[in-house]
Copies of this chain bind each other. A is one copy, B any other.
Amino acid sequence: RRGEMAKLTQLIDNEVFRAYATYTAIVLLKMMLMSLITAYFRVTRKAFVNPEDAASFGKGESAKKYLKSDPDVERVRRGHLNDLENIVPFVGIGLLYALSGPELSTALLHFRIFTGARILHTLAYLIPLPQPGRGLSWAVGYSVTFSMAYKVLKTAWLL
């Protein structure tokens, strides 16, 4: 069992894989942060969807008025869904890319640009910045994932 563990540890010791692990953990934590921001706006705006949540803030009729939609809550939720739509492909394709043997410097360039773009996307969504701020940050992250997918398909292609 010691030998197997050593082999597993080699994966996390590989520099490209370590870079993948670092940036994947960061973007997933950033995505998880959206839940806390949603909760913050729901509580401060008193805007809930579930009757059992509203009931924590008032009884009977007074609870019902907290069952409402709030533009700030909906904005964070749209940002969260956009994260899911874009970070899921990054995590999946990025793993395959990290295993396809790229140069460390090229891999770091991909991971850094994607992570930076997604942080900018969240800021552009929440502030909000005028367009094309959010659109561009989305397109940059999208292109990075596309570039990694190209490398994966070129290396692994077996249909």
Contact = CB atoms under 8 A, between A and B. Distances in A.
Chain A: interface size category: 35 or more
Contacts of A18: 156-158
A152 interface: yes
B5 A157 contact: no
A47 interface: no
Majority-rule SS of A interface residues = helix
A159 B34 CA distance: 23
Interface string A19-47: 10111111011011011000000000000
Contacts of A59: none
B10 A14 contact: no
A101 B14 contact: no
Contacts of A149: 25, 28-29
A26 B159 CA distance: 10
A52 interface: yes
Interface in A85-108: 85-89, 91-93, 95-96, 99-101
Interface of A: 1, 4-5, 7-19, 21-26, 28-29, 31-32, 34-35, 49-50, 52-53, 55-56, 74-75, 78, 80, 84-89, 91-93, 95-96, 99-101, 128-132, 134, 142, 145-146, 149, 152-153, 155-159
